[in-house]
């Protein structure tokens, strides 16, 4: 008999689960920190067009969103299917954009205002008429930094 | 005999992992990792009342006119063009450097004028914007390769500025027309 051979059957040691809570907590904190809750419910269908020359939108807290698209199915009976503008949680008309930009500005610090961006999330089937109107209002409101929201890809 | 001071019963931490798991799953489900991407543009400020039109100083040959009509067709420099050709057309125009007397004098003076109809589809507009941006990206990349041996994105700030000065992206948008009717 060799000196090192152990007597009897070898048993597999059980994997220690003592550190499992730590691992889970670590993951939990990671997701808690990175998570961004969706703050608006979309009332319009938006499929953004595809583009290749895209840039990432930084500083989400400084971005205001304008959604343009046809109302979702549930609301089409009441609002029709023509593209509409959605600001925050409600449909809006073009004239309300200046007011919207003003409220968005009030919520930010004064130093941050020049860095504010307006992201236009418009459906690819929308006509330029409505988008031009929005752009004109943004010019009037002096919110000149805009971003046409797009997906990555080519046609 | 039991001691007078009653020892505190220890909290059972066995279920901690379960609680943490529950929270973890909640955050996993609600989290949105997608980053917003898009084409960044700067709108021109509203013209002031007594501002003088100084367009007369720009020679017509330095302007690359791109028109989009309500049927999403392109008219570039007076000729019908397919979107797929726009990038090459724009590149040729910008990088003309006076070779063709009817095209731009140099990249710094070249201006792209974009005008669309109110009936133009947003998708087409973005595609045109994208093609024009791609033309500039290509030219800048070529220039940076020639000068620094790297792509434009890999350059540092001062180098990028230099290239940007060589190829300033001048895309001007005219007020849209409403010829196509609808809406």
What is the residue-wise DSSP string for A111-142?
A: GGGGG-EEEEEE-TTSBHHHHHHHHHHHHHTT
Nearest residue in chain A measured CA to CA from B25: A28
CB burial of A116-148 (b: ≥16 within 10 Å; e: otherwise) equals bbbbbbbbbebbbbbbbbbbbbbbebebbbbbb
For residue A85, being part of any structural domain is answered with: yes
Q: Is B116 helix (H, G, I), strand (E, B) or coil?
A: strand
C-alpha B172/C-alpha B109 separation (Å) is 13
Residue ranges covered by each domain of chain B? 62-173
Q: How many domains does chain A have?
A: 1
In a domain, A45, yes or no: no
* Chain A residues in contact with B116 (beta carbon < 8 A): 128, 132
Q: Which residues of B touch A53 (CB under 8 A)?
A: 39, 130, 133-134, 137
Residue A14 lies in a domain: no
Question: Domain residues for A56?
Answer: 50-150
In a domain, A107, yes or no: yes
Query: Is B47 touching A (CB cutoff 8 A)?
Result: no
The reported pTM is: 0.76
pLDDT (0 to 100) of residue B46: 78
Closest residue in chain B to residue A25, using alpha carbons only: B20
Cβ pair B37, A151 in contact under 8 A: yes
Does A19 map to a domain? no
ipTM for the predicted complex? 0.75
Query: Nearest CA of chain A to the CA of B102: how many Å?
Result: 29
The verdict on residue A137 lying in a domain is: yes
Task: Look at residue A98 and tell me if it is in a domain.
Answer: yes
CATH number at A78 reads 3.30.420.270
Residue-by-residue pLDDT tens, chain A, 155 positions: 556 766 666 778 888 777 888 888 888 888 878 776 666 788 888 888 988 888 888 877 788 889 999 998 888 888 888 888 998 888 888 888 999 999 988 888 888 888 888 999 999 888 888 888 899 889 888 888 899 989 888 87
Residue A112 forms part of a structural domain: yes
Mind giving me the DSSP string for B16-78?
HHHHHHHHHHHHHHH---PPPEEEEEEPPPPPPTTPPP-GGGS-GGGEEEEEE-TTS-EEETT
Mean pLDDT of chain A: 84
């Amino acid at each position: 008999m060799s000196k090192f051979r152990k007597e009897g059957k070898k048993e597999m040691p059980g994997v220690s689960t003592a550190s499992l809570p730590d691992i889970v907590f670590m993951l939990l904190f990671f997701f808690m920190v990175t998570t961004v809750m969706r703050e608006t419910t979309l009332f319009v269908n938006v499929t953004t067009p595809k583009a290749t020359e895209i840039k990432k939108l930084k500083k989400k807290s400084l971005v205001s969103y304008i959604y343009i698209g046809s109302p979702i199915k549930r609301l089409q009976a009441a609002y029709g299917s023509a593209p509409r503008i959605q600001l925050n949680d409600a449909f809006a008309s073009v004239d309300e954009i200046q007011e919207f930009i003003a409220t968005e500005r009030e919520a930010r610090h004064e130093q941050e205002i020049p860095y504010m961006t307006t992201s236009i999330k418009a459906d690819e089937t929308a006509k330029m008429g409505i988008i031009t109107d929005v752009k004109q209002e943004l010019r009037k409101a002096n919110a000149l930094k805009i971003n046409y929201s797009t997906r990555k890809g080519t046609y | 005999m039991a001691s007078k001071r009653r020892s505190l019963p220890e909290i059972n931490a066995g279920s901690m992992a379960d609680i943490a798991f529950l929270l973890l799953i909640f955050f996993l489900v609600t989290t949105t990792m997608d980053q917003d991407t898009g084409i960044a543009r700067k709108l021109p400020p509203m013209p002031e009342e007594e501002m003088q039109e100084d367009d007369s100083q720009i020679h017509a040959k330095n302007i690359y006119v791109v028109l989009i009509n309500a049927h999403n067709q392109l008219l570039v420099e007076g000729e019908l063009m397919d979107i797929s050709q726009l990038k090459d057309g724009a590149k040729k125009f910008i990088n003309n450097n006076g070779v063709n007397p009817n095209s731009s004098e140099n990249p710094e003076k070249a201006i792209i004028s974009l005008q669309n109809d109110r009936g133009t589809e947003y998708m087409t507009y973005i595609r045109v914007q994208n093609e024009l941006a791609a033309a500039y990206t290509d030219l800048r990349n070529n220039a940076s390769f020639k000068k620094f041996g790297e792509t434009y994105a890999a350059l540092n700030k001062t180098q990028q500025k230099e290239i940007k000065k060589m190829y300033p992206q001048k895309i001007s948008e005219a007020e849209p027309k409403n010829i196509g009717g609808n809406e």
